[in-house]
Amino acid sequence: MTWITAVSLAAWLWLLLGQGFFWRTDVRLPRRTPPGRWPQVAIVVPARDEAAVLPASLPSLLAQDYPGRAEIFLVDDGSTDGTAALARELADRHGGLPLTVTSPGEPEPGWTGKLWAVRHGMALARARTDAAYLLLTDADIAHGPDSLRELVAAAGTGPGLDVVSQMARLRVATFWERLVVPAFVYFFAQLYPFRWCNRPGGRTAAAAGGCVLIRREAAERAGVPAAIRQAVIDDVALARAVRRSGGRIWLGLAERVESVRPYPGLGPLWRMVSRSAYAQLLHNPLLLAGTVAGLAVVYLVPPAAVVAGAVTGAALPAALGAAAWAVMAGTYGPMLRYYRQPLWLAPLLPVTALLYLLMTVDSAVQHHRGRGAAWKGRTYARPEAAPDRSAS
C-alpha cells in the first residue's frame, strides 16, 4: 500500500505541474480587436428531437447582435417531436437573424447522424451565402447576445485563428449534475489541456462541439466534415483534421455560451458519458484495462489509503494518501468555482471518478454486445467496421 500510494502522489504532483496546468480555468477568449469589416457568418445547427430545449436556445441565436451579415441553418436530423415546426414558429415569434430549416434525410452509410446534418447545413450555407466563417453549434446551446461578435473578433485578431471553440458552461442544478458535470469538463481538460491545444504546431488538438467557429477556407482545406464523417467524438476529430492541414486552433472555457440541456438524474448523465467513452479509447481492450487501472491508482488509492491507515494504524501510507487526496481536491477547486459550486464537493472527486470508471466499463460492455455508441435511437459501429471505411 505504501508504494502504490507513493505512485499515486507522484502522479498527482506530475498532473499538478506537468500536464499543461489543465486544472486552471483562466483560458478564456484571447485578445480581441474588432475587424474593420465584419465577415459574413453562417450558423449551422444540427438538431434531432430537440423540441424540449429549442425555446431556451434558438431565440439566443436569432437575437445575436452581430454587426455583419449572419444567417442560421437549422438542420432537422429526422426528428419525431416537431423540432422543425417549432424552430419556424420561434423564428416567426422572435424575429432576428434569418432562419432556414431543412432536412437531409437519413444519413448515408459511414456517416454519423450529426455529421451528416452538419454536411448538409454547410453545403446549403455555401450555396446560399458567401460566409467566410461557419459557426457550428448544438441545438441545446444558448449564446449571449454578443457571443458571435466576440468569437469572430477573436478569430480575426493577430495572425488569425482557423478554429475558435468554447467549452459551453453545462447546466448544474440537480445533485447528480453537481456531482458529475464539473468533473466532465475537468477530465476533458486533463486529457486535452487547453494550453497545449492552443500552442501553434502542438500535438494536442481538441474542440468543444457545442460551439465551434471555423474559417470556411480551413474547413475546405481539412476536408471537414467528410474527412471525419464516422467520428463519434466529432469535435476532437474536427480539431485534429484542421491542425493536420496546417490550421491554427484555440479552445477555452466559455463566458457567453451555456448548455440548457437538463440531466435530472444519473441515468441521462451515464448515457452521455458511456456513449463515447469506449470510442475515446479506440475500442481497444488494452487501453480500457490501462485506463481502469490508472483511474484506480490515481483517484481511488488515496482515499483508500487514508481509510486503511486509520483502521490499521499505518501512518506512512495514510499520510501519502492524504497528500495525494489534497492535491487532487486542490486541482478540482477552480473548476468547481467556475461552475459556482461549493468547494466541499472537491474531496468527493474520487466518488465521481469511480462513477466515470464504471461508465467507461459499461461503454465497452455495450459495444461488445453490439450496441456501440448509441444516441437518440441510432447506434454507430466502430469506424473500422463501418461500410464506408475507405476514406476514413
End-to-end CA distance of the chain: 45
User: Do the Cβ atoms of 235 and 209 come closer than 8 Å?
Assistant: yes
CB atoms < 10 A from the CB of 124, how many? 18
Average pLDDT over residues 75-80: 95
Range with lowest mean pLDDT among 172-176, 266-270, 367-371, 375-379 = 375-379
What is the structure's pLDDT at 370?
Answer: 76
pLDDT band for 385, please (50, 70, 90 cuts). very low
pLDDT band for 255, please (50, 70, 90 cuts). confident
- Please give the model's pTM, rounded to 2 decimal places: 0.93
What is the structure's pLDDT at 376?
Answer: 65
What is the structure's pLDDT at 30?
Answer: 86
What is the structure's pLDDT at 380?
Answer: 62
% of the chain with per-residue pLDDT over 70: 95
What is the structure's pLDDT at 381?
Answer: 60
Average pLDDT over residues 165-185: 97
pLDDT in tens, 134-149: 999 999 999 999 999 9
Interatomic CA distance for residues 50 and 47, integer angstroms: 6
Average pLDDT over residues 100-122: 95
What is the structure's pLDDT at 56?
Answer: 97
Structural Rg of the chain based on CA atoms? 22
Convert the chain into a string of H (helix), E (strand) and C (coil).
CHHHHHHHHHHHHHHHHHCCCCCCCCCCCCCCCCCCCCCCEEEEEEECCCCCCHHHHHHHHHCCCCCCCEEEEEEECCCCCCHHHHHHHHHHHHCCCCEEEECCCCCCCCCCHHHHHHHHHHHHHHHHCCCCEEEEECCCEEECCCHHHHHHHHHHCCCCCCEEEEEEECCCCCHHHHHHHHHHHHHHHHHCCHHHHCCCCCCCCCCCCCEEEEEHHHHHHHCCCHHHCCCCCHHHHHHHHHHHCCCCEEEEEEEEEEECCCCCCHHHHHHHHHHHHHHHCCCCHHHHHHHHHHHHHHHHHHHHHHHHHHHHCCHHHHHHHHHHHHHHHHHHHHHHHHCCCCHHHHHHHHHHHHHHHHHHHHHHHHHHCCCCEEECCEEECCHHHCCCHHHC
pLDDT in tens, 181-190: 999 999 999 9
Residue in the structure block whose three cell numbers are 465551434: 212
What is the structure's pLDDT at 351?
Answer: 98
Q: Could you tell me which residue, 384 or 299, shows the higher pLDDT?
A: 299
User: Do the Cβ atoms of 183 and 349 come closer than 8 Å?
Assistant: yes
